[in-house]
């Protein structure tokens, strides 16, 4: 299980996040959901896959493993698949899924004192007290000068008085920590939960330890890319609609600061110093040399507002250079779809299976390590 001190710090973070979403309840009926595992594909026709489930780290992590219904192991395995399970199973891949049980922390979060449900103190004074007569308020001229224009903008105030920037799990009370909760969740999955899942998989005689692939899309894509830098037992990676340039993502994503000049003084992203240090230690583009020679496929939609194409192109540039320097240029592939948004087309998804089939052949992955 992750160290207690590490978990406690994350609890405080999630408590803050829950408070943010609770404060928005007047205009948003339900809180934004925490990341969930992607749903499994439809049932496999013919022989059914054998599925095993387990709970790791004292209930902190749930994991499942589905084995192909035919053939004998050890099988290559795909963690967090982003194509239907049956397409992988029928090609001889085992399928593993995991979920970090963040929901267990929600009851620990105490609502803040500014909760929307706190009733106002009764009293008729405000409604019945007559206003003092006099024209002064209407006649008083505004003071001349540029002060109003020069006054720094503050984040918008919603219906219940909370001040925030960003959306969904990237919401924050000020620009300097936008997305901090989101990247803490990603880091927990990538650097704590995922290695525990790999540990468990390696106890299974039906899993080939040399042929473990990790795929991800959107949030799970961030997890996959960051995990490649810290988990050397991952042999092949596929990342769809995510990026490794966290600074550009935070500045430009429609879920973060959205290139809003109010929050980007001089066009620059200014983070709190300790948060900037966290980003520097986690950001995959700063550790691109840790992934080669393991094959990595990166896919993006040019029209994606949530994952701006600039942050994906910056990621691709850094990784292409790292793979070329390692003499493994053919093991990195970047595909950008001009008409693609956050949900890529089936043509785009058709890239994934051939990539996995090509690089999860036993003799290939063994030579890549």
pLDDT at residue 310 in the model: 97
Q: Which phi and psi angles does 240 have, rounded to 5°?
A: -120, 135
- Tell me the per-residue pLDDT of 296-346, one tens digit each, with 9 for 90 and over: 999 999 999 999 999 999 999 999 999 999 999 999 999 999 988 898 877
Average pLDDT, the chain: 79
pLDDT of 153: 46
Among all chains, which residue has been given the structure tokens 């594909």? 41
Position 150 pLDDT exceeds 90: no
Q: How far is 356 from 369, CA to CA, in rounded Å?
A: 16
pLDDT over threshold 60, residue 2:
no
- Given pLDDT bands bounded at 50, 70 and 90, which one contains residue 140? very low
98-120 CB burial, b ≥16 within 10 A, e <16: bbbebeebeeebeeeeeebeeee
CA separation for the pair 158, 321 (Å, rounded): 45
Q: Read off the pLDDT band of 129 (50, 70, 90).
A: very low
**pLDDT above 70: residue 283:** yes
Question: Scanning the structure block, which residue is given the tokens 């092949």?
Answer: 236
pLDDT at position 138 over 70:
no
Confidence (pLDDT) at 144: 39
Strand runs labelled E in 93-183: 94-100
Question: Has residue 148 got a pLDDT over 90?
Answer: no
Residue 264, number of CB atoms within 10 A of its CB:
17
- Label residue 111 by pLDDT band (50, 70, 90): low
pLDDT digits (tens, 9 = 90+) for 342-365: 988 777 778 999 999 999 975 555
Residues of the chain above pLDDT 70, percent: 69
**150 SS3 class:** helix
Whole-number Cα distances in Å, 254 to 50, 169, 258, 263, 307: 41, 12, 5, 13, 8
CA distance 243 to 228: 13
> Which pLDDT does position 228 carry in this prediction?
96
Give the pLDDT score at 361.
73
pLDDT grade for 114, boundaries at 50, 70 and 90: very low
Contact by Cβ (8 Å): 228, 283: no
What is the tens place of the pLDDT at every residue in 230-240? 999 999 999 99
CB atoms near residue 225 (< 10 Å)? 29
Angle at CA 72, nearest 5°, toward 71 and 78?
85
For the chain, domain boundaries: 4-40+50-107+167-368
Mean pLDDT over 267-295 rounds to 97
Per residue, what are the HEC states of 309-332? HHHHHHHHHHHHHHHHHCCCHHHE
pLDDT at 120: 45
Report in angstroms the alpha-carbon separations of 92 from 49, 262, 361. Answer: 11, 52, 11
The CATH number of the structural domain formed by 4-40+50-107+167-368 is 3.40.50.1820
Q: What is the mean pLDDT of residues 181-197?
A: 96
Asked whether the predicted pLDDT for residue 191 surpasses 60, the reply is: yes
CA neighbor of 110 nearest in space, from 22, 25, 181 = 22
Q: Could you tell me which of 183, 180, 179 has the C-alpha nearest to residue 167?
A: 179
Q: What pLDDT does residue 289 have?
A: 97
Query: Could you give the CA distance from residue 251 to residue 17 in angstroms, rounded to a whole number?
Result: 20
Residue 37 to residue 66: CA distance in whole angstroms? 15
């Amino acid at each position: 299980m992750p160290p207690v001190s590490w978990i406690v710090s994350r609890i405080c973070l999630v408590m803050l996040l829950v408070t943010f979403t609770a404060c928005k309840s007047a205009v948003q009926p339900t809180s934004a959901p925490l990341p969930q595992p992607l749903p499994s594909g439809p049932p496999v026709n013919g022989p059914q896959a054998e599925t095993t489930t387990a709970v790791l780290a004292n209930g902190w992590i749930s994991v499942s493993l589905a084995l192909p219904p035919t053939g004998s192991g050890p099988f290559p395995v795909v963690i967090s698949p982003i194509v239907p399970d049956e397409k992988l199973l029928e090609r001889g891949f085992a399928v593993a899924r995991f979920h970090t049980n963040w929901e267990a922390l929600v009851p620990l979060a105490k609502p803040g004192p500014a909760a929307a449900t706190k009733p106002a103190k009764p009293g008729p004074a405000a409604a019945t007290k007559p206003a003092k007569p006099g024209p002064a308020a209407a006649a008083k001229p505004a003071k001349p000068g540029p002060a109003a224009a020069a006054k720094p903008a503050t984040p918008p105030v919603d219906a219940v008085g909370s001040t925030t920037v960003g959306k969904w799990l990237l919401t924050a009370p000020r620009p300097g920590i936008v997305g901090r909760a989101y990247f803490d969740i990603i880091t927990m999955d990538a650097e704590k939960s995922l290695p525990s899942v790999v540990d468990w998989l390696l106890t299974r005689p039906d899993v080939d330890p040399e042929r473990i692939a990790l795929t991800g899309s959107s949030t799970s894509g961030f997890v996959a890319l960051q995990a490649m830098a810290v988990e050397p037992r991952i042999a092949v990676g596929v990342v769809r609609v995510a990026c490794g340039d966290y600074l550009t993502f935070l500045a430009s994503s429609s879920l973060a600061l959205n290139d809003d000049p109010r929050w980007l003084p001089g066009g620059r992203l200014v983070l709190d110093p300790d948060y900037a240090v966290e980003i520097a230690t986690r950001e995959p583009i700063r550790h691109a040399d840790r992934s080669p020679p393991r094959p990595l496929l990166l896919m993006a939609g040019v029209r994606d507002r949530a994952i701006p194409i600039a942050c994906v192109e910056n990621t691709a540039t850094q990784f292409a250079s790292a793979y070329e320097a390692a003499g493994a240029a053919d093991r990195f592939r970047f595909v950008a779809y001009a008409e693609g948004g956050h949900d890529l087309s089936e043509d785009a998804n058709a890239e994934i299976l051939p990539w996995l089939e090509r690089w999860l052949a036993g003799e290939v992955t063994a030579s890549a390590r």
